[in-house]
Structure 1
Protein backbone atom coordinates (compact mmCIF):
# COMPACT_ATOMS: atom_id res chain seq x y z
CA UNK A 1 0.00 0.00 0.00
CA UNK A 2 2.71 2.47 0.97
CA UNK A 3 4.66 1.81 -2.21
CA UNK A 4 1.61 2.44 -4.40
CA UNK A 5 0.77 5.65 -2.53
CA UNK A 6 4.39 6.80 -2.84
CA UNK A 7 4.31 6.15 -6.60
CA UNK A 8 0.94 7.89 -6.92
CA UNK A 9 2.19 10.96 -5.06
CA UNK A 10 5.22 11.12 -7.34
CA UNK A 11 3.01 10.91 -10.42
CA UNK A 12 0.73 13.69 -9.17
CA UNK A 13 3.77 15.91 -8.69
CA UNK A 14 5.01 14.92 -12.16
CA UNK A 15 1.77 16.12 -13.74
CA UNK A 16 2.29 19.59 -12.25
CA UNK A 17 5.98 19.60 -13.18
CA UNK A 18 5.07 18.86 -16.80
CA UNK A 19 2.63 21.77 -16.81
CA UNK A 20 5.22 24.15 -15.40
CA UNK A 21 7.86 22.94 -17.85
CA UNK A 22 5.62 23.43 -20.89
CA UNK A 23 4.19 26.75 -19.71
CA UNK A 24 6.47 28.95 -21.89
CA UNK A 25 5.98 26.72 -24.94
CA UNK A 26 2.20 26.56 -25.34
CA UNK A 27 -0.13 29.19 -26.86
CA UNK A 28 -2.59 31.34 -24.94
CA UNK A 29 -5.48 29.25 -26.29
CA UNK A 30 -4.76 25.54 -26.05
CA UNK A 31 -6.40 22.73 -27.99
CA UNK A 32 -7.82 20.42 -25.33
CA UNK A 33 -10.54 18.38 -26.99
CA UNK A 34 -10.77 16.29 -30.15
CA UNK A 35 -13.65 14.61 -31.96
CA UNK A 36 -13.77 10.93 -32.86
CA UNK A 37 -11.84 11.65 -36.06
CA UNK A 38 -8.95 13.22 -34.16
CA UNK A 39 -9.86 16.79 -35.14
CA UNK A 40 -9.64 19.61 -32.60
CA UNK A 41 -13.07 20.84 -31.51
CA UNK A 42 -12.42 22.41 -28.12
CA UNK A 43 -10.04 24.92 -26.55
CA UNK A 44 -9.11 26.22 -23.09
CA UNK A 45 -7.18 29.18 -21.84
CA UNK A 46 -3.49 28.56 -21.21
CA UNK A 47 -3.84 28.34 -17.44
CA UNK A 48 -6.76 25.90 -17.49
CA UNK A 49 -5.27 23.91 -20.36
CA UNK A 50 -2.07 23.40 -18.40
CA UNK A 51 -3.47 22.68 -14.97
CA UNK A 52 -6.96 21.21 -15.43
CA UNK A 53 -5.77 17.60 -15.73
CA UNK A 54 -3.25 17.83 -12.83
CA UNK A 55 -5.98 19.29 -10.63
CA UNK A 56 -8.40 16.60 -11.78
CA UNK A 57 -5.82 13.91 -11.02
CA UNK A 58 -5.31 15.36 -7.54
CA UNK A 59 -9.04 15.38 -6.85
CA UNK A 60 -9.50 11.82 -8.07
CA UNK A 61 -6.59 10.51 -6.02
CA UNK A 62 -7.98 12.13 -2.88
CA UNK A 63 -11.41 10.66 -3.61
CA UNK A 64 -10.04 7.16 -4.21
CA UNK A 65 -8.04 7.30 -0.99
CA UNK A 66 -11.07 8.43 1.01
CA UNK A 67 -13.55 5.86 -0.34
CA UNK A 68 -12.10 2.83 1.48
CA UNK A 69 -12.26 4.76 4.75
CA UNK A 70 -15.97 5.55 4.50
CA UNK A 71 -17.21 2.26 3.04
CA UNK A 72 -19.42 0.42 5.57
CA UNK A 73 -17.66 -2.77 4.44
CA UNK A 74 -14.16 -1.31 4.65
CA UNK A 75 -12.85 -4.55 6.15
CA UNK A 76 -13.54 -6.26 2.82
CA UNK A 77 -11.59 -3.65 0.88
CA UNK A 78 -8.54 -4.43 3.02
CA UNK A 79 -8.58 -7.94 1.52
CA UNK A 80 -7.92 -6.65 -2.01
CA UNK A 81 -6.38 -3.28 -1.18
CA UNK A 82 -3.16 -3.93 -3.11
CA UNK A 83 -5.14 -4.34 -6.35
CA UNK A 84 -7.11 -1.20 -5.58
CA UNK A 85 -4.03 0.91 -4.86
CA UNK A 86 -2.32 -0.14 -8.08
CA UNK A 87 -5.49 0.65 -9.99
CA UNK A 88 -5.08 4.22 -8.76
CA UNK A 89 -1.50 4.22 -10.07
CA UNK A 90 -2.59 2.97 -13.49
CA UNK A 91 -5.42 5.50 -13.66
CA UNK A 92 -3.03 8.35 -12.87
CA UNK A 93 -0.53 7.07 -15.46
CA UNK A 94 -3.30 7.05 -18.05
CA UNK A 95 -4.30 10.61 -17.22
CA UNK A 96 -0.69 11.78 -17.37
CA UNK A 97 -0.41 10.20 -20.83
CA UNK A 98 -3.48 12.18 -21.90
CA UNK A 99 -2.03 15.31 -20.32
CA UNK A 100 1.28 14.83 -22.14
CA UNK A 101 -0.51 14.31 -25.45
CA UNK A 102 -2.33 17.63 -24.96
CA UNK A 103 0.89 19.42 -24.05
CA UNK A 104 2.83 18.01 -26.99
CA UNK A 105 0.05 18.81 -29.45
CA UNK A 106 0.11 22.43 -28.35
CA UNK A 107 3.86 22.64 -28.89
CA UNK A 108 3.52 21.38 -32.46
CA UNK A 109 4.11 17.67 -31.90
CA UNK A 110 0.82 16.37 -33.27
CA UNK A 111 0.24 12.98 -31.68
CA UNK A 112 -3.37 12.05 -32.32
CA UNK A 113 -5.47 11.21 -29.26
CA UNK A 114 -6.71 8.23 -31.26
CA UNK A 115 -3.20 6.81 -30.88
CA UNK A 116 -3.06 7.40 -27.12
CA UNK A 117 -6.58 6.83 -25.81
CA UNK A 118 -7.28 3.29 -27.10
CA UNK A 119 -4.05 1.92 -25.64
CA UNK A 120 -4.48 3.77 -22.36
CA UNK A 121 -8.13 2.90 -21.96
CA UNK A 122 -7.39 -0.67 -22.98
CA UNK A 123 -4.82 -0.97 -20.20
CA UNK A 124 -7.22 0.64 -17.75
CA UNK A 125 -10.05 -1.75 -18.67
CA UNK A 126 -7.72 -4.73 -18.49
CA UNK A 127 -6.59 -3.87 -14.99
CA UNK A 128 -10.17 -3.09 -13.99
CA UNK A 129 -10.83 -6.72 -14.85
CA UNK A 130 -8.10 -7.85 -12.47
CA UNK A 131 -9.42 -5.54 -9.76
CA UNK A 132 -13.01 -6.67 -10.29
CA UNK A 133 -12.10 -10.35 -10.11
CA UNK A 134 -10.40 -9.83 -6.77
CA UNK A 135 -12.91 -7.42 -5.24
CA UNK A 136 -14.78 -8.50 -2.14
CA UNK A 137 -18.29 -7.22 -1.52
CA UNK A 138 -18.34 -3.46 -0.85
CA UNK A 139 -20.25 -0.35 -1.84
CA UNK A 140 -17.78 1.39 -4.16
CA UNK A 141 -15.57 -1.05 -6.09
CA UNK A 142 -16.54 -3.84 -8.45
CA UNK A 143 -19.83 -4.69 -10.15
CA UNK A 144 -22.40 -3.35 -7.72
CA UNK A 145 -26.02 -4.09 -8.48
CA UNK A 146 -28.91 -4.64 -6.05
CA UNK A 147 -28.38 -8.38 -6.54
CA UNK A 148 -24.61 -8.56 -6.10
CA UNK A 149 -24.87 -6.43 -2.97
CA UNK A 150 -27.59 -8.71 -1.60
CA UNK A 151 -25.77 -12.01 -2.09
CA UNK A 152 -22.18 -13.06 -1.52
CA UNK A 153 -22.55 -15.86 -4.05
CA UNK A 154 -23.97 -13.56 -6.74
CA UNK A 155 -21.27 -10.99 -6.00
CA UNK A 156 -18.48 -13.49 -6.48
CA UNK A 157 -19.96 -15.08 -9.58
CA UNK A 158 -20.76 -11.79 -11.28
CA UNK A 159 -17.46 -10.11 -10.45
CA UNK A 160 -15.38 -13.12 -11.46
CA UNK A 161 -17.14 -13.28 -14.82
CA UNK A 162 -17.18 -9.50 -15.19
CA UNK A 163 -13.45 -9.36 -14.52
CA UNK A 164 -12.75 -11.70 -17.41
CA UNK A 165 -15.06 -9.70 -19.68
CA UNK A 166 -13.42 -6.41 -18.68
CA UNK A 167 -10.05 -7.83 -19.68
CA UNK A 168 -11.43 -8.83 -23.07
CA UNK A 169 -12.92 -5.33 -23.41
CA UNK A 170 -9.50 -3.89 -22.61
CA UNK A 171 -7.79 -5.89 -25.33
CA UNK A 172 -10.52 -4.90 -27.79
CA UNK A 173 -10.19 -1.22 -26.87
CA UNK A 174 -6.43 -1.35 -27.41
CA UNK A 175 -6.99 -2.74 -30.90
CA UNK A 176 -8.71 0.55 -31.71
CA UNK A 177 -5.23 2.02 -32.16
CA UNK A 178 -4.97 0.04 -35.40
CA UNK A 179 -8.22 1.54 -36.67
CA UNK A 180 -8.15 5.17 -35.47
CA UNK A 181 -11.28 6.21 -37.36
CA UNK A 182 -13.27 3.56 -35.50
CA UNK A 183 -11.41 3.76 -32.18
CA UNK A 184 -14.42 5.14 -30.35
CA UNK A 185 -16.42 2.02 -31.24
CA UNK A 186 -13.62 -0.30 -30.12
CA UNK A 187 -13.71 1.49 -26.77
CA UNK A 188 -17.38 2.04 -26.02
CA UNK A 189 -19.16 -0.93 -27.59
CA UNK A 190 -17.32 -3.58 -25.52
CA UNK A 191 -17.52 -1.71 -22.22
CA UNK A 192 -21.22 -0.88 -22.59
CA UNK A 193 -21.88 -4.49 -23.57
CA UNK A 194 -20.00 -5.81 -20.54
CA UNK A 195 -21.76 -3.40 -18.19
CA UNK A 196 -25.20 -4.30 -19.52
CA UNK A 197 -24.53 -8.03 -19.58
CA UNK A 198 -23.22 -8.19 -16.01
CA UNK A 199 -26.27 -6.33 -14.67
CA UNK A 200 -28.61 -8.80 -16.36
CA UNK A 201 -26.42 -11.74 -15.34
CA UNK A 202 -26.46 -10.71 -11.68
CA UNK A 203 -30.25 -10.47 -11.73
CA UNK A 204 -30.73 -13.98 -13.11
CA UNK A 205 -28.10 -15.42 -10.78
CA UNK A 206 -29.93 -13.89 -7.84
CA UNK A 207 -33.24 -15.30 -9.02
CA UNK A 208 -31.60 -18.71 -9.38
CA UNK A 209 -30.30 -18.49 -5.83
CA UNK A 210 -33.77 -17.58 -4.52
CA UNK A 211 -35.30 -20.60 -6.23
CA UNK A 212 -32.62 -22.90 -4.84
CA UNK A 213 -33.24 -21.55 -1.35
CA UNK A 214 -36.98 -22.12 -1.76
CA UNK A 215 -36.40 -25.73 -2.83
CA UNK A 216 -34.17 -26.32 0.19
CA UNK A 217 -36.80 -24.92 2.54
CA UNK A 218 -39.51 -27.11 0.97
CA UNK A 219 -37.34 -30.22 1.20
CA UNK A 220 -36.77 -29.56 4.89
Structure 2
Protein backbone atom coordinates (compact mmCIF):
# COMPACT_ATOMS: atom_id res chain seq x y z
CA UNK A 1 0.00 0.00 0.00
CA UNK A 2 1.31 3.45 -0.95
CA UNK A 3 2.47 5.85 1.75
CA UNK A 4 -0.35 8.31 0.99
CA UNK A 5 -2.99 5.78 1.97
CA UNK A 6 -1.14 4.81 5.14
CA UNK A 7 -0.82 8.48 6.13
CA UNK A 8 -4.50 9.12 5.38
CA UNK A 9 -5.52 6.10 7.45
CA UNK A 10 -3.43 7.32 10.39
CA UNK A 11 -5.10 10.74 10.11
CA UNK A 12 -8.57 9.19 10.28
CA UNK A 13 -7.64 7.16 13.36
CA UNK A 14 -6.11 10.25 14.99
CA UNK A 15 -9.26 12.29 14.34
CA UNK A 16 -11.52 9.64 15.88
CA UNK A 17 -9.15 9.44 18.87
CA UNK A 18 -9.19 13.22 19.32
CA UNK A 19 -12.98 13.27 19.18
CA UNK A 20 -13.21 10.53 21.82
CA UNK A 21 -10.68 12.29 24.06
CA UNK A 22 -12.40 15.68 23.98
CA UNK A 23 -15.98 14.35 23.91
CA UNK A 24 -16.61 14.74 27.68
CA UNK A 25 -15.58 18.42 27.47
CA UNK A 26 -17.85 19.33 24.56
CA UNK A 27 -20.93 21.52 25.23
CA UNK A 28 -24.49 20.20 25.18
CA UNK A 29 -25.28 22.33 22.11
CA UNK A 30 -22.47 21.89 19.61
CA UNK A 31 -21.77 24.30 16.77
CA UNK A 32 -21.78 22.32 13.52
CA UNK A 33 -22.22 25.01 10.88
CA UNK A 34 -20.68 28.43 10.31
CA UNK A 35 -21.70 31.37 8.14
CA UNK A 36 -19.53 33.29 5.70
CA UNK A 37 -18.74 35.82 8.41
CA UNK A 38 -17.00 33.04 10.37
CA UNK A 39 -19.41 32.67 13.30
CA UNK A 40 -21.55 29.66 14.15
CA UNK A 41 -25.13 29.65 12.86
CA UNK A 42 -26.10 26.00 13.20
CA UNK A 43 -26.13 23.74 16.27
CA UNK A 44 -26.83 20.11 17.19
CA UNK A 45 -27.41 18.50 20.56
CA UNK A 46 -24.28 16.78 21.83
CA UNK A 47 -24.16 13.16 20.78
CA UNK A 48 -22.33 10.65 18.61
CA UNK A 49 -23.76 12.16 15.42
CA UNK A 50 -22.70 15.70 16.25
CA UNK A 51 -19.28 14.76 17.58
CA UNK A 52 -18.26 12.17 15.00
CA UNK A 53 -20.15 13.14 11.84
CA UNK A 54 -17.05 14.62 10.19
CA UNK A 55 -14.66 11.76 11.13
CA UNK A 56 -17.23 9.32 9.75
CA UNK A 57 -17.39 11.32 6.52
CA UNK A 58 -13.59 11.20 6.31
CA UNK A 59 -13.66 7.42 6.63
CA UNK A 60 -16.38 6.99 4.00
CA UNK A 61 -14.67 9.31 1.51
CA UNK A 62 -11.30 7.64 2.00
CA UNK A 63 -12.86 4.22 1.40
CA UNK A 64 -14.58 5.57 -1.72
CA UNK A 65 -11.34 7.05 -3.05
CA UNK A 66 -9.61 3.73 -2.45
CA UNK A 67 -12.32 1.77 -4.28
CA UNK A 68 -12.78 4.02 -7.33
CA UNK A 69 -9.68 2.90 -9.30
CA UNK A 70 -10.85 -0.71 -8.96
CA UNK A 71 -14.45 -0.20 -10.11
CA UNK A 72 -14.02 2.37 -12.90
CA UNK A 73 -14.47 0.80 -16.37
CA UNK A 74 -11.49 2.95 -17.43
CA UNK A 75 -9.38 1.77 -14.48
CA UNK A 76 -6.31 1.33 -16.69
CA UNK A 77 -6.01 5.11 -17.07
CA UNK A 78 -5.48 5.73 -13.36
CA UNK A 79 -1.90 4.53 -13.54
CA UNK A 80 -1.06 7.68 -15.52
CA UNK A 81 -2.07 10.00 -12.67
CA UNK A 82 -1.78 7.64 -9.71
CA UNK A 83 0.55 9.93 -7.75
CA UNK A 84 -1.78 12.93 -8.09
CA UNK A 85 -4.88 10.84 -7.32
CA UNK A 86 -3.35 9.40 -4.16
CA UNK A 87 -2.20 12.88 -3.21
CA UNK A 88 -5.74 14.22 -3.52
CA UNK A 89 -7.07 11.46 -1.26
CA UNK A 90 -4.48 12.38 1.37
CA UNK A 91 -4.97 16.14 1.02
CA UNK A 92 -8.76 15.89 1.25
CA UNK A 93 -8.43 13.72 4.36
CA UNK A 94 -5.99 16.22 5.89
CA UNK A 95 -8.28 19.14 5.03
CA UNK A 96 -11.30 17.50 6.67
CA UNK A 97 -9.13 16.65 9.68
CA UNK A 98 -8.14 20.31 9.88
CA UNK A 99 -11.80 21.36 9.71
CA UNK A 100 -12.59 18.90 12.50
CA UNK A 101 -9.75 20.24 14.66
CA UNK A 102 -11.08 23.78 14.20
CA UNK A 103 -14.62 22.70 15.06
CA UNK A 104 -13.40 20.93 18.21
CA UNK A 105 -11.46 24.02 19.27
CA UNK A 106 -14.48 26.25 18.63
CA UNK A 107 -16.76 24.00 20.68
CA UNK A 108 -14.20 23.87 23.48
CA UNK A 109 -14.50 27.63 23.85
CA UNK A 110 -11.81 29.07 21.60
CA UNK A 111 -12.97 32.14 19.69
CA UNK A 112 -12.10 31.49 16.07
CA UNK A 113 -12.91 33.12 12.75
CA UNK A 114 -13.64 29.91 10.87
CA UNK A 115 -13.79 31.51 7.43
CA UNK A 116 -10.38 33.10 7.83
CA UNK A 117 -8.80 29.94 9.24
CA UNK A 118 -10.30 27.73 6.54
CA UNK A 119 -8.99 29.95 3.74
CA UNK A 120 -5.46 28.48 3.44
CA UNK A 121 -6.65 24.88 3.63
CA UNK A 122 -9.41 25.39 1.10
CA UNK A 123 -7.06 27.32 -1.18
CA UNK A 124 -4.50 24.49 -1.06
CA UNK A 125 -7.18 21.89 -1.81
CA UNK A 126 -8.61 23.77 -4.80
CA UNK A 127 -5.13 24.55 -6.16
CA UNK A 128 -4.17 20.87 -5.89
CA UNK A 129 -7.33 19.88 -7.76
CA UNK A 130 -6.01 22.15 -10.51
CA UNK A 131 -2.76 20.17 -10.52
CA UNK A 132 -4.70 16.90 -10.68
CA UNK A 133 -6.84 18.12 -13.58
CA UNK A 134 -3.70 18.78 -15.59
CA UNK A 135 -2.61 15.14 -15.14
CA UNK A 136 -5.89 13.20 -15.12
CA UNK A 137 -6.68 10.84 -17.97
CA UNK A 138 -10.18 9.99 -19.13
CA UNK A 139 -12.22 8.20 -16.46
CA UNK A 140 -15.75 8.11 -15.06
CA UNK A 141 -15.17 9.53 -11.56
CA UNK A 142 -12.41 12.15 -11.40
CA UNK A 143 -12.27 15.34 -13.43
CA UNK A 144 -14.53 17.33 -15.73
CA UNK A 145 -16.91 14.60 -16.86
CA UNK A 146 -19.22 15.79 -19.62
CA UNK A 147 -20.64 13.69 -22.47
CA UNK A 148 -18.06 15.30 -24.75
CA UNK A 149 -14.94 14.85 -22.61
CA UNK A 150 -15.88 11.24 -21.92
CA UNK A 151 -16.34 10.58 -25.64
CA UNK A 152 -13.00 11.88 -26.89
CA UNK A 153 -9.49 11.85 -25.41
CA UNK A 154 -8.49 15.08 -27.17
CA UNK A 155 -11.56 16.93 -25.88
CA UNK A 156 -10.80 15.57 -22.40
CA UNK A 157 -7.18 16.72 -22.61
CA UNK A 158 -7.90 20.25 -23.84
CA UNK A 159 -10.77 20.81 -21.40
CA UNK A 160 -8.66 19.65 -18.47
CA UNK A 161 -5.70 21.80 -19.48
CA UNK A 162 -7.97 24.85 -19.23
CA UNK A 163 -9.63 23.52 -16.09
CA UNK A 164 -6.24 23.11 -14.44
CA UNK A 165 -5.44 26.79 -14.95
CA UNK A 166 -8.86 27.95 -13.75
CA UNK A 167 -8.83 25.87 -10.57
CA UNK A 168 -5.32 27.04 -9.73
CA UNK A 169 -6.53 30.62 -10.18
CA UNK A 170 -9.49 29.94 -7.87
CA UNK A 171 -7.14 28.50 -5.25
CA UNK A 172 -4.94 31.58 -5.38
CA UNK A 173 -8.01 33.84 -5.15
CA UNK A 174 -9.11 32.05 -1.99
CA UNK A 175 -5.89 33.11 -0.28
CA UNK A 176 -7.49 36.56 -0.10
CA UNK A 177 -9.50 35.00 2.70
CA UNK A 178 -6.47 35.31 4.98
CA UNK A 179 -6.93 39.09 4.92
CA UNK A 180 -10.50 39.52 3.66
CA UNK A 181 -12.30 36.30 4.72
CA UNK A 182 -15.70 36.87 3.11
CA UNK A 183 -14.34 38.49 -0.06
CA UNK A 184 -11.68 35.83 -0.58
CA UNK A 185 -14.10 32.94 -0.19
CA UNK A 186 -16.72 34.67 -2.31
CA UNK A 187 -14.29 35.38 -5.15
CA UNK A 188 -12.95 31.83 -5.04
CA UNK A 189 -16.41 30.27 -5.14
CA UNK A 190 -17.46 32.61 -7.95
CA UNK A 191 -14.42 31.56 -9.99
CA UNK A 192 -15.18 27.88 -9.35
CA UNK A 193 -18.84 28.19 -10.36
CA UNK A 194 -17.96 30.22 -13.43
CA UNK A 195 -15.24 27.72 -14.32
CA UNK A 196 -17.57 24.74 -13.96
CA UNK A 197 -20.16 26.27 -16.28
CA UNK A 198 -17.56 27.56 -18.72
CA UNK A 199 -15.75 24.22 -18.95
CA UNK A 200 -18.96 22.37 -19.80
CA UNK A 201 -19.60 24.83 -22.63
CA UNK A 202 -15.94 24.70 -23.69
CA UNK A 203 -15.95 20.90 -23.96
CA UNK A 204 -19.11 21.01 -26.09
CA UNK A 205 -17.64 23.66 -28.41
CA UNK A 206 -14.41 21.71 -28.93
CA UNK A 207 -16.30 18.47 -29.56
CA UNK A 208 -18.70 20.14 -32.02
CA UNK A 209 -15.88 21.79 -33.98
CA UNK A 210 -14.01 18.52 -34.18
CA UNK A 211 -17.13 16.69 -35.36
CA UNK A 212 -17.77 19.29 -38.08
CA UNK A 213 -14.19 19.04 -39.33
CA UNK A 214 -14.45 15.26 -39.57
CA UNK A 215 -17.68 15.55 -41.58
CA UNK A 216 -16.06 17.84 -44.14
CA UNK A 217 -13.17 15.46 -44.79
Task: Judge same fold: TM > 0.5, yes or no.
Answer: yes
- The residue aligned with 1:61 is 62
Asked whether the equivalents of residues 125 and 170 of structure 1 are also in contact (C-alpha less than 8 Å), the reply is yes
- CA–CA distance in structure 1, aligned partners of residues 192 and 178 of structure 2: 16
Give SS of 2:155's match.
helix
- The residue aligned with 1:177 is 178
User: Shift in Å at residue 3 of structure 1?
Assistant: 0.6
- The residue aligned with 2:20 is 20
Asked whether the equivalents of residues 26 and 46 of structure 1 are also in contact (C-alpha less than 8 Å), the reply is yes
Once superposed, which parts of structure 1, at least 4 consecutive aligned residues long, lie more than 4 Å away? Answer: none
Q: TM-score, normalised by structure 1?
A: 0.94
The within-5 A match list for 1:1-220 is: 2-47=2-47, 48-215=49-216, 217=217
Asked whether the equivalents of residues 173 and 184 of structure 2 are also in contact (C-alpha less than 8 Å), the reply is no
Q: TM-score, normalised by structure 2?
A: 0.95
User: Shift in Å at residue 160 of structure 1?
Assistant: 1.1
Asked whether the equivalents of residues 176 and 187 of structure 1 are also in contact (C-alpha less than 8 Å), the reply is no
Asked whether the equivalents of residues 121 and 187 of structure 1 are also in contact (C-alpha less than 8 Å), the reply is no
Q: CA RMSD in A?
A: 1.3
Asked whether the equivalents of residues 97 and 116 of structure 1 are also in contact (C-alpha less than 8 Å), the reply is no
Asked whether the equivalents of residues 176 and 186 of structure 1 are also in contact (C-alpha less than 8 Å), the reply is no
User: Shift in Å at residue 183 of structure 1?
Assistant: 4.0
User: Shift in Å at residue 155 of structure 1?
Assistant: 0.4
Q: After superposition, what is the alpha-carbon deviation per residue over 1:96-131, rounded to whole angstroms, capped at 9, x for unaligned?
A: 111011100111111211112222211111000111
Asked whether the equivalents of residues 176 and 185 of structure 2 are also in contact (C-alpha less than 8 Å), the reply is no
Asked whether the equivalents of residues 29 and 44 of structure 1 are also in contact (C-alpha less than 8 Å), the reply is yes
- CA–CA distance in structure 2, aligned partners of residues 95 and 35 of structure 1: 17
Aligned length: 216
